[in-house]
Structure 1
């Protein structure tokens, strides 16, 4: 309802292009979401999934994937049994991963090599670090405002993560407008990582699926730029190696909608413009997206009031008011520089219709917040519908990122009966927020021999 005319037209075209079953679902999805009347568990299905009664649990699939990978490398199948009988001694870190249903696929993931890798995901607003024993941390850094602080902040992040011999890096921060070109952004980020990580060995992930040296990363900047989605999609593929899988990664700034087949991404696009054009990248997230980018009007006194075309409020304010996000009184990276609390969020959202709390009560402001949340679910849902129409209805959907709750609402919006795998459930909420950092560390531990 609140999408631009262009996007609404594209979305209707996607519905007409779908198969009959998917078409019916997505027609139902174009109706209003009605978040206020639905609990968080609404729409979830219990018991066997329709048409997939014989589907094995994802953990069994991981064990079978490990067997296949080991055979490819000439390793003994007996060395990787996940059952209690015959299991070899595992490191404490690997035991923690096993207790979460996470089975290492290769010998390299056990022991010292597991603990020797640190993953970094360098974005334009946040720096994320993760290890394979469950540690993960995200630190805000508005790169477009303070690019000179990147190396020092990375140094602090690396020091807090403990000793690691090797660093695997993926990035999206090269898009920050403090850099004239993507090539300059890649060059500056690579230099900052090498400086902060010395004397550790550094490897940079590319959209070819390769981990390369700093020099190679600089020489091929467009392959190094915006590669975190590719690493994360391969991680999702390991969790669901059979059938068509859809990855929904909803972050603070952007959303990735990635089709995965046979444990590998099968996207139309590779670069950011290509992925935007193919609806595999949706530039909307749960914290930083301006409200005016999602809605043209908000409810007021039984009617709709057009919104101000200003960055008075963001999606974080809507989700704070709806209690989907926790308050962070010390965080001031908001539209007005005041704290990320519900009280301050109400003031910011009221300002979107040039009002304040003297003109609106709490119920009216919450209704406005719900419209914003519904519009974002609709935007992501219509993009997901386009991706699904190009492939098939997914057998499994992997959800990740700080906005997993939005990803689940998208699944209900599209009425998809797929199995849902949550990285927050598997790895913990902190690791899910830093999922790309986890993914690149895992891939490096599997594939790089140091």
Structure 2
């Protein structure tokens, strides 16, 4: 970290306040997120975040260009830190190739800026050209988030519901109490559920839907996704529908209704709005059951697991709150990470927080 520390020592020698600018990256298969934090005198004073929908599996070659654009929009940094979950998308032959590609793109986004990663043990590792075990560097976005939350909320269940997946991370005694690290381990232990509020196909949530007094099997086609469900129910607004639609058409409530009708092999002209709304409500209920089942599994490992409050975050935080209430669990507000209140908890903001604090207090 000599580059950053040298700059700081020069400022201190002139009696100036210590100012550090850090950027945290969270690069997934369908979204790229970044947060820039400004640390003054060792405290995160202010920050800004950017989220871009980006189909890594279709556009891996364009990742560097996108990161350069985001870096330009956020403003320069003294150091950057990387987390990722997109390393396993099918643009790559294996996980190691994906990790290497993402690291290379991040390096290219701002050449000459010190780049760090968070590994599976929660440690900050500087990528300085030395040998590193790539398979220890991903997936780590949930680790960054849980590490920061643990410093603010000593006992809780982190419920991060995103566009595609749900993370259930227990924190006990200010320590991460998760059993899994790699995704396959986290799936087995109920800490990773492949369901989210935007991109999840309806067919991954349920195979049947009550309709006109019957239980109607649904088509095994990619007709509608969870975003259509929550736009129909008014839990998400059309502008929240950041992923691609299955039919490539508008992200309005009318468009969502049309896509939902196709799930039961019908069109929206032959189903009433009330019927389509009821279908959406049932699908949402089944998704709640998927998530609460995972919560039951994770909490059952602890003597007083039923007493842990839930910290709901992510674009699907509203669903996390619903699940917590369904289980009778208290809800705690996720922490704000800057003095100005401009950034709340997210993996990219958490990663930036960890790096900024490490540099400020070596």
TM-score by shorter chain over 0.5: yes
Whole-Å separation in 2 of the counterparts to 1:250 and 1:179: 26
- Across the aligned residues of Structure 1 and Structure 2, the Cα RMSD in angstroms comes to 2.3
The change in CA–CA distance for 1:374 and 1:220 in structure 2 (over 3 A counts) is same
The change in CA–CA distance for 1:428 and 1:301 in structure 2 (over 3 A counts) is farther
Equivalent position of 1:129 in the other structure: 34
Q: Is the CA contact (8 Å cut-off) linking 1:167 and 1:201 kept in structure 2? A: yes
Equivalent position of 1:284 in the other structure: 195
Given candidates 115, 120, 129, the residue that maps to 2:25 is 120
The change in CA–CA distance for 1:331 and 1:383 in structure 2 (over 3 A counts) is closer
Deviation at 1:217, TM superposition (A): 9.1
Matching of residue 299 in structure 1 with residue 210 in structure 2: yes
The change in CA–CA distance for 1:217 and 1:188 in structure 2 (over 3 A counts) is farther
Deviation at 1:379, TM superposition (A): 0.3
Whole-Å separation in 1 of the counterparts to 2:59 and 2:276: 34
Matching of residue 328 in structure 1 with residue 235 in structure 2: no
Q: Is the CA contact (8 Å cut-off) linking 1:187 and 1:218 kept in structure 2? A: no
Q: Is the CA contact (8 Å cut-off) linking 2:56 and 2:89 kept in structure 1? A: yes
Q: Deviations over 1:21-66 (max 9, x none)?
A: xxxxxxxxxxxxxxxxxxxxxxxxxxxxxxxxxxxxxxxxxxxxxx
Q: What are structure 2's unaligned runs of at least 5 residues?
A: 1-16, 38-45
Given candidates 410, 413, 422, the residue that maps to 2:334 is 422
Matching of residue 353 in structure 1 with residue 264 in structure 2: yes
Matching of residue 266 in structure 1 with residue 177 in structure 2: yes
Q: Deviations over 1:331-384 (max 9, x none)?
A: 571111112211111111100000011210111001011111111111010001
Equivalent position of 2:4 in the other structure: none
Q: Is the CA contact (8 Å cut-off) linking 2:224 and 2:259 kept in structure 1? A: yes
> 326-335 or 227-236: which moved more?
326-335
Alignment of 1:304-319 (within 5 A): 304-319=215-230
Q: Deviations over 1:214-260 (max 9, x none)?
A: 3579732221111011111111112212xx31100000011000011
Deviation at 1:205, TM superposition (A): 0.9
Whole-Å separation in 1 of the counterparts to 2:218 and 2:95: 34
Give the 3-state SS of the residue equivalent to 2:290 in structure 1. helix
Alignment of 1:28-427 (within 5 A): 111-113=18-20, 116-132=21-37, 133-214=46-127, 219-241=132-154, 244-328=155-239, 333-391=244-302, 392-416=305-329, 418-423=330-335
The change in CA–CA distance for 1:419 and 1:171 in structure 2 (over 3 A counts) is same
Whole-Å separation in 1 of the counterparts to 2:131 and 2:106: 12
Q: Is the CA contact (8 Å cut-off) linking 2:198 and 2:241 kept in structure 1? A: no
Whole-Å separation in 2 of the counterparts to 1:302 and 1:431: 47
Q: What are structure 1's unaligned runs of at least 5 residues?
A: 1-109
Structure number with higher helix proportion: 1
Q: Is the CA contact (8 Å cut-off) linking 1:207 and 1:227 kept in structure 2? A: yes
Give the 3-state SS of the residue equivalent to 2:223 in structure 1. coil
Q: Is the CA contact (8 Å cut-off) linking 1:312 and 1:351 kept in structure 2? A: yes
Whole-Å separation in 1 of the counterparts to 2:178 and 2:129: 24
Structure number with higher strand proportion: 2
TM-score (norm 2): 0.87
The change in CA–CA distance for 1:275 and 1:215 in structure 2 (over 3 A counts) is farther
Q: Is the CA contact (8 Å cut-off) linking 1:328 and 1:339 kept in structure 2? A: no
Number of residue pairs aligned between Structure 1 and Structure 2: 335
Q: Is the CA contact (8 Å cut-off) linking 1:240 and 1:396 kept in structure 2? A: no
